[in-house]
């Protein structure tokens, strides 16, 4: 019963976005799309957890099942949404796709300028978020930046992803 209700909810959530909300400006922001997924997911998990404590008709397994299915749906949706925004690699492919056979030099120059601009923008974002600070000796990590960098190091080590140091 819970699964049927949850399946109907997921269908309605997707259709609402596909038919109506994707045309609205407020949902096109990172904050808007994140809240569109996070608020209902948190509401489902909280309500079901409360029901499972108050009644025997909802089990802990039901709560876990709904939370993880919502997690799979939302994470897949948000990954595709972020992909549509186009990362740096996609910008490179986009440029190459437009010109088919692009001479190496003419392909690299505008892309290198774009890369430098992106790196400067990201560094400014990291400073604004308090993860990196600018000192006379150069840019360095703040304590929270060091924690996040440690997490990135751990994931890179665990997965064998080569990182630029």
Partner 1 sequence: MGALGAFLLAGCAVGAGLAGFLLQRSGLTAESLAALSSYAFACELYIFLFSSISSSISASLLYGLRSGALSATELESRFGGAAMVERRLSRMLSTGILQRSATSYSLTARGIGLMRAYRGCRGFFRRGTAGSL
Binding residues among 6-65 for partner 1 as defined by CB under 8 A:
18, 22-23, 28, 59, 61-62, 64-65
**Are 63 and 49 within 8 A, CB to CB?**
yes
- Which range of residues in 6-14, 39-47, 49-57, 119-127 is near partner 1 by CB under 8 A? 119-127
Please select the residue that binds partner 1; options are 31, 85, 128, 143, rule is CB under 8 A: 85
Report in angstroms how near the CB of residue 156 gets to partner 1 at its nearest.
6
**Bridge partners of 138?**
135
Closest CB 44 distance from partner 1, rounded Å: 14
Within residues 135-154, the interface with partner 1 by CB under 8 A covers: 135, 137-141, 145-146, 148-150, 152-153
How many whole angstroms from its chain centre is CA 17? 17
In a 3-state reduction of DSSP, which class is residue 141?
Answer: strand
User: How far is it, in rounded angstroms, from Cα 124 to Cα 128?
Assistant: 6
Residue 32 near residue 26 (C-beta atoms within 8 A): yes
């Amino acid at each position: 019963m819970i699964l049927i209700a949850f399946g109907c909810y997921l269908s309605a959530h997707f259709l609402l976005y596909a038919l109506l909300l994707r045309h609205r400006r407020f949902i096109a922001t990172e904050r808007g799309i994140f809240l569109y997924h996070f608020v209902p997911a948190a509401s489902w998990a909280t309500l079901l957890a409360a029901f499972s404590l108050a009644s025997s008709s909802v089990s802990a397994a039901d709560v876990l099942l709904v939370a993880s299915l919502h997690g799979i749906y939302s994470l897949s949706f948000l990954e595709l949404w972020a992909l549509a925004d186009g990362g740096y690699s996609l910008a490179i492919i986009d440029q190459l796709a437009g010109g088919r056979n692009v001479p190496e030099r003419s392909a690299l120059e505008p892309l290198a300028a774009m890369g430098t601009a992106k790196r400067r923008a990201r560094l400014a974002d990291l400073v604004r978020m308090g993860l990196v600070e600018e000192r006379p000796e150069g840019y360095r990590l703040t304590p929270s930046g060091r924690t996040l960098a440690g997490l990135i190091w751990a994931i890179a080590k665990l997965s064998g992803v080569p990182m630029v140091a």
